[in-house]
Chain A
Amino acid sequence: MSAIAISNGPDQMRVLVIEDDRETQGFIARALKEQGHTPELAGDGETGLALAEAGSYDVLVVDRMLPRLDGLSAIERLRKGGNRTPVLILSALGDVDDRVKGLKAGGDDYLTKPYALSELMARIEALARRASPAESSTTYTVGDLVLDRLSHKVTRGGGAIPLQPREYRLLEYLMKHTGQVVTRTMLLENVWDYHFDPQTNVIDVHVSRLRAKIDKGFSEPLLHTIRGVGYMVRAGAA
């Protein structure tokens, strides 16, 4: 990570929140500050678009329904101007069609209201990381756990860990977001490509099976449960 101050890495991000509801704005800003990020706020689509075009942000959080210029149009214009900043769309419309429309307009992720703030934070961080170069590396390493993305082989402490295809993809996603909280919904969406409420703790059971394979018999656990939010893969837990 470059040490130059203007480059905001995922550790300290500049996030533009375009949302017309003052209270929601406040909640998001506060949560971002608590995570050590710098939020900037816009109350309508036009102001938001102008700010987004002028400043350099790590992530944009855009409400779909905004005064003056609706969220999707703002994103479309931004993309036409060549701006590739990751965008998270917030919307009360949660249909498959609505989601597809949002992503087509240039959104990178889509979160349906009402949402948990922890879910929003986890997604903002994941988006910022997506824009960083770590994505393209061929191996993910966390402590002594190594995932080879070319051979699809996973080893820990040099010993091979046999994984089912789905377990592999689950671990790959978790390791891609090493050090970040990954929510159950994010796993369901990204690993299984399901966008509905699974009713039960299906994800937890999958994760605990994975954990049994990668952490069992090792002194240092790498796959952590973040209570009330989700999971995180991390070495040298504080």
Chain B
Amino acid sequence: MLPNILRTSAFRWIAAYLLLFLVAIAGVVGYIFWLTSEQLNRELSGIISAEVAGLREQFETGGLGNLDRAIAARSAAPGNSLYVLADSGGRRVAGNLSGLPADLMGKSSGGPFLYSRKTDLGEEMRHAVGVAIAVPGGLALVVGRDVEEQQTFAAAVRRAFLWGTAIVALAGLVGGLFASRALLRRVDTVTQASRSIMAGDLARRLPVSGAGDEFDRLSQGLNAMLERIEQLMVGLREVSDNIAHDLKTPLTRLRNRAETALTDPAGGADRQALERTIQEADGLIRTFNALLAIARLEAGQGSGSFVPLDLAEVAREAAELYEPVAEEAGFRVEVEIGAAPIVRGDRQLIGQAIGNLIDNAIKYGRPVGAKAPSIRLSVEADREARLIVADSGSGIPEADRERVLKRFVRLEASRSAPGSGLGLSLVAAVAHLHGGSIRLEDNRPGLRVVVALPLARAQNAQEHV
């Protein structure tokens, strides 16, 4: 768990932020510290210089005796000032220091030194700052100031800063761990859910906490995607079940037929059986091709070859091909071209769609009763181009209209008629590939299939003139 948390991006961000924060604090505190001690040092050296100047004046006005007295007087006064006047042998002549501090000897600019002071508890070494000056007559004078308290204070400040930093860092890290753990836990629930979805539980969804935060938004987006995937999967399963059924049936027939022919002792049925076998195979190939074509269209393939087409012309040509066969079947064919809309599309695909619709009308659009069978193909246009094929048969009940667009769906009434159940699926796929739609309507009586296609841009421009 812990290594996981340390590896989370949240933790890394927090750690990086913390580090930056600490560096900034160290910078500010360090600057203030430096500034303060600099100021103190300057004051110190100011005081020492003033003392030295005062003592020099005493010496110049009253000679050595005067200096001696002044040092003795000043040494007696309470305070932090330190003095010692020593002869050439290093022996103390006057002052409150016991002797010349070795640290200062030979340094003309002065500096820190240690000295011992007697207290109630004994002797203690204390920090001081001072300067040594040569006095005429082989004497040496040291003027200094005790800085032990200042040093103690500085050490306390340093300690306080280090502790403070450590506490901030610790609090930050602990906070970071907690925040990361909370985030990690949410990510883990999502990961777990997605694992079980991957394992096949397609109905499972990612948890949404209801807080409306970024995790919820992400989960909602992914859930919508999962919804769509599930739909597609269900569709796919349906299709493969249907394919299995609709291809296995003719395959079984084909096999049985060959088997029967083989076992026929007379052998006379061979030829006929072979011919039927070929027919069956052709039917299978046809179904297979239609399936492939629909799959390709649904995958969006083929739209690369789209060109502007006159829909009226495409409809006229397709009708011309199918008219004789419809008439042969006893249908009256009316072609009603009300407009010549330009659509972007593929002539083959639209032609095939029209062909499928007319073929459907011939197969299933025969009216009940004595009414003369008729098929009407019309082209209309306003905001969209519409291709309509209507028959006067028994139509499709409203409840089934959505369903018949699916692959292999054939209504009970038409089960006995020849056909693959792929015709309308292909028309729907063609319509969708062209950015259009398909609607099944009631022709009172009969079925009216409306394929709506978007107009090509050139046509739009013309309309606005």
Interface residues of A (CB under 8 A from B): 94-97, 100, 114, 116, 166, 192, 194-202, 205-206, 209, 228
Q: Is the CB of B355 within 8 A of A201?
A: no
Q: A114-B285, A192-B317, A205-B328 are in contact. Are A199 and B302 (CB under 8 A)?
A: no
Is there an interface contact between B324 and A197, defined as CB atoms closer than 8 Å?
Answer: no
Q: Are B348 and A199 in contact (CB under 8 A)?
A: no
The residues of A that contact B286 with a CB separation of less than 8 Å are: 197
**Could you say which of B305, B317, B362 contacts A200, with CB atoms under 8 Å apart?**
B362
Number of CB contacts from chain A to chain B under 8 A: 61
Is B289 part of the binding interface, using a Cβ–Cβ cutoff of 8 Å? yes
Q: Which residues of A contact B290 (CB under 8 A)?
A: 197
The binding surface of chain A is classed by DSSP as loop
The contact sample of 25 A-B pairs, CB cut-off 8 A, is A94-B289, A94-B292, A96-B305, A192-B317, A194-B321, A194-B351, A194-B352, A195-B348, A196-B351, A196-B352, A196-B355, A197-B286, A197-B289, A197-B290, A197-B352, A198-B322, A199-B356, A200-B322, A200-B359, A200-B362, A201-B325, A205-B325, A206-B321, A228-B275, A228-B278
List chain B positions with a Cβ less than 8 A from chain A: 275, 278, 282, 285-286, 289-290, 292-293, 296, 301-302, 304-305, 317, 320-322, 324-325, 328, 346, 348-349, 351-352, 355-356, 359, 362, 423
**B292 to chain A: which residues have CB within 8 Å?**
94
Q: In the bound complex, do residue B355 and residue A97 qualify as a contact, i.e. CB atoms below 8 Å apart? A: no
Query: Are the C-beta atoms of B359 and A199 separated by less than 8 Å?
Result: yes
Partner of B296, one of A95, A194, A199: A95
List residues of chain A with CB within 8 A of the CB of B317.
192
Residue of B nearest to A194 (CB): B351
Interface of B is mostly: helix
Give min CB distance, B226 to chain A, whole Å: 32
The 3 A-B pairs at the shortest CB distance, nearest first, are namely A205-B324, A196-B352, A199-B359
Q: Other CB < 8 Å A-B pairs besides A95-B301, A97-B302, A166-B320, 6 of them?
A: A97-B305, A196-B293, A196-B355, A197-B352, A198-B322, A202-B324
Across-interface contacts of A209 in B (CB, < 8 A): 324
CA distance A206 to B359 in the complex (A): 15
The smallest beta-carbon distance between A153 and chain B, in angstroms, is: 22
Highest count of chain B CB atoms <10 Å: which of A94, A96, A195: A96
